[in-house]
């Protein structure tokens, strides 16, 4: 399911990129007046944020699909740069773009960056958290009152 969503997302981003480049719009220009150009720009922004959300919540699966796409990295880097250069995001969306960029190694990861949804990371934590079993110390053999043999 995720694979189909991401394939369609890359296809939509690729088509939108072609339209934006052909239209000649750049982030330093005012927003386009043409309705179709604005919709194309909105498509890029929405799909970039959607990809970021999917990536951060399912990183292992998304990385596999992302690496298998022929021009996936180039397309995502372009869309992230476009989104960063436009001034339409609030603080939460900028944070999402920053985390997404770190997850994809577009920008260097901060020392404090950790994606809690990573399966590999969870497995490492589980290994660290599993308590070690205490070794049983052998019991001393002492004489006992036996209840086994009862005389009648």
Per-residue pLDDT of the chain (152 residues; tens, 9 = 90+): 888 998 899 999 999 999 988 888 888 888 878 888 889 999 999 999 999 999 999 888 888 888 888 788 899 999 999 888 887 888 889 898 899 998 888 889 888 888 888 876 556 656 666 666 677 777 787 777 766 666 65
100 with 47: CB under 8 angstroms? Answer: no
Overall pTM > 0.75:
no
44 closest CA partner among 67, 13, 69 = 13
pLDDT of residue 21: 87
Angle at 146 (CA atoms; ends 140, 150), nearest 5 degrees: 165
d(CA 100, CA 79): 12
d(CA 103, CA 4): 21
pLDDT of residue 130: 61
pLDDT of residue 146: 65
């Amino acid at each position: 399911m995720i694979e189909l969503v991401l394939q369609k997302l890359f296809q939509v981003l690729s088509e939108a990129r072609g339209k934006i480049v052909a239209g000649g719009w750049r982030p330093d220009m005012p927003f386009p007046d043409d309705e179709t150009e604005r919709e194309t720009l909105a498509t890029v922004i929405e799909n970039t944020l959607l990809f970021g959300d999917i990536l951060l919540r399912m990183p292992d699966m998304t990385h596999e699909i992302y690496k298998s796409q022929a021009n996936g990295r180039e397309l995502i880097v372009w869309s992230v740069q476009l989104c960063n250069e436009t001034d339409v995001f609030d603080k939460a969306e900028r944070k999402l773009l920053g985390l997404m960029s770190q997850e994809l190694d577009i920008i260097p990861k901060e020392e404090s960056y950790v994606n809690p949804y990573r399966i590999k990371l969870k497995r490492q934590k589980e290994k660290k958290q599993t308590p070690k079993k205490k070794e049983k110390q052998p019991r001393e053999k002492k004489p006992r009152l036996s209840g086994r043999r009862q005389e009648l």
